[in-house]
Every structure is written in C-alpha cells, then in structure tokens.
Structure 1
C-alpha cells in the first residue's frame, strides 16, 4: 500500500485518486478523524487517524498495513499558534518530516516523495524557466519555503545515510476542486468561484494586489496529483528533486480570458503594472523525461472543469 499523509486534503485527495487509477491501494492519514472524506467516497482507500508529529500514531499505521511507499504531503505549520512558542512550532514541523523518514526506515519503504514548493525559488532573479539546479536564495521571506528548503537539505543527508530514496517535488501554484478559497498567493480560485456563482470576484483575501500581467506556473490539481503518483510509481528516477507544474507561465489576464470563454457573462478587470514583472515558470523537463508526465489540462480546460465542479453544488 501507498501511505499518503495529507491524503484527505486538496492535493492529497487528487494524488490518492491518481494512485487508485494506476492500480495502487492507499492508506490515508488524517489528524481529526479516521473517516474517509466525502470527496473520496468512491475510492476504496483505508483511513488512519494520527499526526505526523506523533511518532507512535505513525507506527500504528505500519502495524495495521504493509506500506511499500510514502507520499508525504501533510505539514505541521512552522509558526507559533495557540500560545505555542516559535521554537517549539519549528521543532514540531521538523519532527513531522523526521518521523516520516523514521517509519520509512522501519517499514523498509523504498521511496518517499516529499512535497516541496515553487516558493523555494522566491527571490531568484532569472527570467523564464526555473530549473532544479538553480542556486536557491537563502534569505528568509516566508516560513513555508524556509521549512521546505531545510527539508530538502535534510532529505539529501538522510537518503545518503539510510538508503531510502527521498524525492522532493517542488509543486507549483495549484488550483481546482477542493482548493483553498481564497488562495492568498494568486487569484485564479477566487475568479473561478465568482464565475460559477455569477458574482463579483472578492480578492480581498489575497496577500498582495493582483495585476493583470502577473503570472506564475499555474497547474490544475488533477495534473498535480497525477504527477505525484508518477513520482511514486516510476521504477527508476534519475534525480532527487523534480519540479511539478504545467511547465508554462499563465498570467491573471489569461485566467480571466479562459474563465470568460466558459462563462461568457463573466467580466472583470485587474489593474496593470507600471513596470513589467518577470515571467517565470517551472522547467518540467526532468519530470517529463523520467516519468512521461505531460499536463492534460490547459488553462481553458481547467477553468471549464473547475467551474463545472462548482456548479454541481460543490463548495470548493
């Protein structure tokens, strides 16, 4: 079985679906409840209740199931909350990753796929495609990319010492069924929801003012899940780090045009920048060459599928 931490979440649930479609059986870890979430009601997955920061709850999964591979998508937030001190929060976040490697070693797991993020490239000045071998800026600007950079470095050391293949998947901006609303970093989900509901987009939840020309590597979540499944299942991988994305830059203006093609009554405008922002995207050559992955959804197909999902009565 494939153990998927965060398997009931946004990207996790689509990864589980992709693994199931490929013939794999999955066991999902969920912190709050052992019940299978509604979005996976038609997938015969096993559920386990536990916390990646609780080593014993992870070991219990191994006592109940034979685990052959791990896709690690869950995260313990590395910032203080609820009275916890900042050092303790970072410690719990790192413990979650270390615990996954501990049980992988105990269970004899061959490969662990660990979620990283496009955010590790934050501050890279290069225009165009961002390759996995680019030097990464080491300055702090957000807790999540910081944690992921540390995790990637630890993964290299632990893989060398344990013999476990630990693969980091640098996941791009992802949208689609079950996604975050709002996503604080890009407006596509909020725009799609407004189109589905025939309302004016509410972009107040974004961390920064979005502009029409702003772009990023925007990947539909069904493609993201399939890429992660391929990274887990492909017999031989030649690298330990892979970009997971569409391999192209999509601007906010292009998202609006794609949504309007599906919903002709949808009209909204974003302001233009005074200066041109760098256009960057993930170089997915490694992923394509080693796993055969190519995206199935362009922006228009993604917008149509997502709006159809929302119109069917789904909240997210």
Structure 2
C-alpha cells in the first residue's frame, strides 16, 4: 500500500497509475476536500485505490490514515515549498512547508515504512558547473544560492532528508524531477514553453507565451520528461528492491528544444499558426540536461516517450475533450 501525498495532482495521478499498473494498492492523500475518486483510475483499479483528505499540518489526521491503511511506502509530492507566493506570512509559510516533510517522516517512522521518495527538482542544478551539452549527475556540487523559492526549498529538503535518514533509519530518497509536461498538467508554465505550444496547436491558435520568465526562442530547451514517464520512474524508485544511492535524477536524459516540439507539432497539427524566433533569447540560461544512468541501473527505467510520441499522445488527450 503506497501513500502518495498530492496524489490527485498532476504528477501524483500519473504516479498512482504507474503503481497500480505494477500491481500495488495506493492511498491518494489530498489537502483539499475530495468529492470523488478519479474516474479513470477508479474504473480500472477501484478495489486497490483509496482517497483520503488531510492537511499535512494535522499530524493526528495523518496518523489516522495509518490506522485505516497498512502503508508500506510513501511518495511525497505535496507541500514542501511555500508556493505560490503571496497571501501568507512568509515565515509561517516557510515553517508550514518544512513541517509537511517532517510530518511525512514522522509518519513513516511510526508506520515502519520501508522507503519514502521525496520530490526535488531540476532547478537545484541552476548555476552548477557544466559545459553545454553535458549531462549533470547527482554528485555534482550545487551552489548554496538560488534565484527562486522552489529550488531553494528543495535544496533545504534534500539536506533534511540526508540528516533524517541517518537519525530515524527511514530510507528517504530524493527524486530530482526535470521539467514535466503532458496530460493533467497546467496549460501554461512560467519555466518552459512546451505546454503552451501544445495547447495552442490543439486549439488552432497562436500560443500566449507572455508568462514565461525567459522569452521562448526556437533553439532553447531543457530536459523535458513526459508525465507518463515521470510517474513510472517514481513508481520504480519506490518499488526497487534495493537502491544504491540517496538521490536520483528523474528525467529524459536529453535536451528537448522548442524547435523539437514545433517539428513534432507540424506533423500532427500542420495548420496551427505557431512559430518562434530562431536562435536563443539574450541572456537565456544554459540548457540543462540530466544524467539518468543511476536511475536506469538501479530501477531499469528507460523513457518510453520521445518528443514525437509525447506530442501525439498529448494532442490526442486534449483532442478527446480534456481541458488539460
């Protein structure tokens, strides 16, 4: 029985499907009130799928989940970053973000859980050394500074998991997840253009790229992992009989450029009015590519979706009437 925090979210839903397909039972934990079980998952795996509502700040309610379900593993995807910003007191928000991780570790120790996979991010590599085209490995020294709250708190979380593994005996594994795109994801990202490009092509309109932190040019890219691949990689990390490391890159292992996305879209939606300026934006950060050798060797993972297959699948999903 695998507990997934944020289990009804974007990555959580794909992780749940992958675990269910591998024969596991899942408890999907969500902070907001849950009115119904995900229809598609329930139809295929209803007897092995459970949904619980709890705020990770409520330790007693979280403990109650352990009383109702024999949890053997946890994938922690929710609540460890004070994001989006605004509204809450920043000190209180930071404390709540870190306490969510501590609640999960306390529960794991109490339930004698074998392994907790904790979501980190590709963003921790920002500013790290590496030549263009170099695949960045998990042992690369990371700078202590960061320009964004998400990688900042993920670095803090990684340090905490290292300490807590030794202190509690719970196996805590960091998953540095690259840029995820695909079904159930947000139609627009501030970090990369792929979702906007695909949604625009599905609607036959020009993409709105105004929300991006860095303007989108054709030759810019990053290590994109398709959502279905991401869910399967996290499931394999949770279920591997033994892991040789504490941190794993969860990625495609290659840079996908905006031009690659446009080329795939042109084959499936040739009439869509989508184009990007050639080259790279001034002062655009270097493209990041992650080394997934460790993940391959310890779990048997290999990406199933190249760019063409991912674009075709994503367009098919949207074309079937799904909003995101």
Same fold (TM over 0.5): yes
Between the aligned partners of 1:182 and 1:41, the Cα distance in structure 2 is 28
Per the TM alignment, residue 76 of structure 1 is displaced from its structure 2 partner at its CA by 4.9
TM-score, normalised with respect to structure 2: 0.94
Report the 3-state secondary structure (helix = DSSP H, G, I; strand = E; otherwise coil) of the residue aligned with 1:47: strand
Cα distance change on mapping 1:184 and 1:81 into 2, 3 Å: closer
- 1:88-167 map, 5 Å: 88-127=92-131, 128-167=134-173
Per the TM alignment, residue 161 of structure 1 is displaced from its structure 2 partner at its CA by 1.2
Does the alignment pair 1:209 with 2:215?
Answer: yes
Structure 1 residue aligned with 2:17: 17
Cα distance change on mapping 1:256 and 1:130 into 2, 3 Å: same
Between the aligned partners of 2:236 and 2:25, the Cα distance in structure 1 is 14
The 8 Å contact of residues 214 and 281 in structure 2, kept in 1 or not, is answered as no
Q: CA RMSD in A?
A: 1.6
Moved over 6 A (4+): none
TM-score, normalised with respect to structure 1: 0.96
Does the alignment pair 1:296 with 2:304?
Answer: yes
Cα distance change on mapping 1:204 and 1:72 into 2, 3 Å: same
Per the TM alignment, residue 39 of structure 1 is displaced from its structure 2 partner at its CA by 5.1
Residue deviations 1:237-267, cap 9 Å, x none? 0001000010001111111111111222234
Per the TM alignment, residue 83 of structure 1 is displaced from its structure 2 partner at its CA by 4.5
Give the unaligned 5+ runs of structure 2: none
Report the 3-state secondary structure (helix = DSSP H, G, I; strand = E; otherwise coil) of the residue aligned with 1:67: coil
More deviation in 199-208 or 143-152? 199-208
The 8 Å contact of residues 213 and 277 in structure 1, kept in 2 or not, is answered as no
Between the aligned partners of 2:237 and 2:150, the Cα distance in structure 1 is 22
Does the alignment pair 1:282 with 2:290?
Answer: yes
Does the alignment pair 1:69 with 2:73?
Answer: yes
- 1:173-192 map, 5 Å: 173-192=179-198
More deviation in 216-225 or 201-210? 201-210
Per the TM alignment, residue 110 of structure 1 is displaced from its structure 2 partner at its CA by 0.9
Does the alignment pair 1:256 with 2:262?
Answer: yes
Per the TM alignment, residue 36 of structure 1 is displaced from its structure 2 partner at its CA by 1.5
Between the aligned partners of 1:54 and 1:136, the Cα distance in structure 2 is 33
Structure 1 residue aligned with 2:321: 313
Q: How many residues align?
A: 316
Between the aligned partners of 1:219 and 1:90, the Cα distance in structure 2 is 28
Per the TM alignment, residue 207 of structure 1 is displaced from its structure 2 partner at its CA by 2.2
Residue deviations 1:125-178, cap 9 Å, x none? 312101000011111311111111011011011001111110000000010000
The 8 Å contact of residues 183 and 317 in structure 2, kept in 1 or not, is answered as yes
More deviation in 81-90 or 204-213? 81-90
Residue deviations 1:154-208, cap 9 Å, x none? 1011001111110000000010000012111111011111111111111122222
Structure 2 residue aligned with 1:238: 244
Between the aligned partners of 2:81 and 2:121, the Cα distance in structure 1 is 14
The 8 Å contact of residues 79 and 90 in structure 1, kept in 2 or not, is answered as no
Between the aligned partners of 1:247 and 1:76, the Cα distance in structure 2 is 25
Cα distance change on mapping 1:39 and 1:138 into 2, 3 Å: farther
Structure 1 residue aligned with 2:280: 273
Give the unaligned 5+ runs of structure 1: none
More deviation in 40-49 or 221-230? 40-49
